[in-house]
Chain A
Amino acid sequence: MSFDEYYEYIVETENLTKVYKLGSISIKALSNVNLKVKTGEYVSIMGPSGSGKTTLFNMIGGLDRPTSGSVYISGSDISKLDAYELAWLRCRKIGYIFQTFNLLPTLTALENVELPMIFAGVPREKRLSKAKKLLEMVGLGDRLNHKPQELSGGQQQRVAIARALANDPSIVLADEPTGNLDLSTGLEIINMLRKLNKEKGVTIVTATHDLKMINVSDRIVWIRDGKIERIQERAQLSVIK
């Protein structure tokens, strides 16, 4: 079993269920979710807040363990991985983008992009040149040595995108990537993600309730109360102007 082999479905969930226990009551955040994401696809998971989007995001990203059911990344059941293997998976195979950007405030843009490559053991020279290239790609070639607080929200999110791509992951997971951005900056980020998806062939899975995302997605997964309500293919979608 290897993560490098090509699989038609890069992410697969099988009867994925997550139950949170809050004192004596248990809340079913996800129940029997079966989802398949094709390699190279751009999938948006849409739903109101509290619908289980973020829980699904965490499960697919190996950040939380399911109560029952399985998540397969490139055909491997990630609930069977130990802590070390999970860390490796998060480092090499998955790139994360968050609503709140989550850059390290003490580090410059360049150092933030370098960080995942440090964990991947990339030598310093290679790391620097790659981080520079990625930041130039997202249009921040002149902001390499700025700290996050010296950058605007949109710029911070672009640094985060560069960081997510640092180790050439096969999947980029984005949790409400436009949630903290204004309309036009949000659109910029969405277009950038789409461009990456088209040009680099990275699979992108976003959890969002930003309707702007509909225009660029190959498929929309509507989720409500922890269940998949319906899945819409690109062809079924009318483009919102």
Chain B
Amino acid sequence: MDAAVGEVKFSLKEAFYLSLEQFKLRFGKMLLAMATVTLSIIFVVTFSVYSYFFQNLSGEIGLERQTLSQWYYFVILAMVVAIVSISNSLLMSVMERTKEIGTLKCLGALDSHILLLFLIEASLIGLVGGIVGFLLGMIASFASLYAQFGDLAFFIFSNAYQTLNWFWMAMATSVFLCIVASLYPARRAANLRPAEALRYEL
């Protein structure tokens, strides 16, 4: 076969637009999944804020740092719950959209384009979970530190760089969790055979 065929394209911008519309449409259905990511980000942020607080102020408040070690357990548990829940939501989304995926393939979409669509959608869930989780995490850790140590709690906001670090960490963790969770559903969507996908009835 000579090079008879031309190009098939799908820019990141177009993919992003399609995923965003889908994300908006499915926002309600995704809330539960987003809540679990948010929860694990709250844990992650609170854990970091606490560590920072106790590391720097352990002299003043005389508290043992080792009490924090059991937090790891919660953080990891929350992450696992988040991954399972997002995976499940996205699998539902793939099933509901089987026909749509078949149609996209008819119009010229490659497997990799479908994969991209789902990865972007997962990242959007991650972004929302990250922002909300960061804000709630900061509020929660400040409130609980304030209740215990009064004005000393303001220390956690004393370093803007540190706060920014927590923010980026929250976002990165959240998006990473969502992308890991979406790998299986996205692959499944990408591997759907068009003829079968079109025949599919929910």
List chain A positions with a Cβ less than 8 A from chain B: 1-3, 54, 58, 61, 63-64, 76, 80-81, 83-85, 87-92, 96, 98, 100, 102, 104-107, 115-116, 118-121, 163
Contacts and interface: CB of A to CB of B under 8 A. Distances in A.
A188 B100 CA distance: 26
B110 A84 contact: yes
Contact of B194 (A1, A2, A63): A63
A102 B99 contact: yes
Task: With a 10 A CB-CB cut-off, give which of B21, B22, B113, B199 has the most chain A CB atoms.
Answer: B21
A212 to B, nearest CB: 24
A69 B185 CA distance: 34
A64 B106 CA distance: 11
Given A63-B194, A64-B194, A106 B107 contact: no
Contact of B5 (A80, A89, A102): A89
B169 interface: no
Shortest Cβ-Cβ A-B pairs, 8 listed = A91-B108, A119-B108, A64-B195, A121-B9, A106-B21, A88-B5, A58-B195, A63-B195
Contacts of B160: none
A115 B109 CA distance: 10
Contact of B107 (A1, A84, A115): A115
B8 A118 contact: no
Which DSSP category, helix, strand, loop or mixed, fits chain B's interface?
helix
B163 interface: no
A81 B109 CA distance: 15
A179 B83 CA distance: 42
6 contacts: A85-B5, A106-B22, A106-B24, A119-B9, A119-B10, A121-B9
Interface in B68-105: 99-100, 102-105
A87 B8 contact: yes
Contacts of B22: 106
B193 interface: yes
A141 B194 CA distance: 31
Contacts of A120: 8-9, 108
A83 B105 CA distance: 11
Contacts of B24: 106
A2 B2 contact: yes
A219 B166 CA distance: 70
Given A64-B194, A83-B110, A104-B103, A88 B18 contact: no
B118 to A, nearest CB: 14
Given A63-B195, A84-B8, A90 B18 contact: no
B60 interface: no
A105 B100 CA distance: 9
B7 A107 contact: no
A87 B105 contact: yes
Contact of A87 (B102, B110, B198): B110
Contacts of A63: 105-106, 193-195, 198
A80 B102 CA distance: 21
Given A1-B2, A54-B199, A105-B25, 18 more contacts: A1-B1, A3-B4, A3-B5, A58-B194, A58-B195, A63-B106, A64-B195, A80-B1, A84-B110, A87-B105, A98-B103, A98-B198, A102-B198, A104-B104, A106-B25, A119-B9, A119-B109, A121-B7
A116 B198 contact: no
B198 A107 contact: no
B6 interface: yes
A51 to B, nearest CB: 15
Contacts of B106: 61, 63, 90, 96, 102
A172 to B, nearest CB: 12
Nearest to B2: A1
A115 B18 CA distance: 10
Interface in B102-148: 102-111, 113
Task: With a 10 A CB-CB cut-off, give which of A64, A76, A106 has the most chain B CB atoms.
Answer: A106
